[in-house]
Homo-oligomer: A and B are copies of this chain.
Amino acid sequence: MYNTRQKAMIAACLKAHAGEHMTADQIHASLLQNGTHIGLTTIYRELDRLVNDGSAIKYTGLNTNATSYQYIGDAKEHGNHYHLICLDCGQLTHLSCSIIESFTRHIEEEHSFLLNSQKTVFYGHCASCAEKAPAK
């Protein structure tokens, strides 16, 4: 795998926005603002690679219809943690808690299923959004 300016820039852009998730288009636009033009095709290709690496998560079907991506750290360091996404505001929270291990183990031992923490995303409502919209 060759190292290219494009790969570096795309990864850098995602890292720079580590708190948010971005669509391929947004990354494209953001890079343009910094004077760097990279083909959308390349951005899609590279995002796929980052997701496979485990360096980014891919979100489909959030409030919008466009797929978005978020940086979650270099391939190695992502321990066993999950992500919570608010269905209203889209805010993402990292869930790092000892309960994960016991839960994962239970699912594995009692239900014969190996959870994938990278592909699984918990959807729901964050505290502030849950207040606004009364329980349904």
Contact = CB atoms under 8 A, between A and B. Distances in A.
Interface of A: 58, 60-61, 67, 84, 86-87, 93, 95, 97, 99, 103, 106-107, 110-116, 119-127, 130
Indicate how many identical chains form the complex: 2
Nearest to A110: B97
Contacts of A113: 84, 86, 93, 122, 124-127
A87 B119 contact: yes
Given A99-B103, A115-B122, A120-B123, 17 more contacts: A60-B61, A61-B61, A84-B107, A84-B113, A86-B113, A87-B116, A93-B111, A95-B107, A97-B110, A97-B111, A99-B106, A103-B103, A107-B124, A112-B127, A115-B124, A119-B124, A120-B122
A134 to B, nearest CB: 12
A124 B130 contact: no
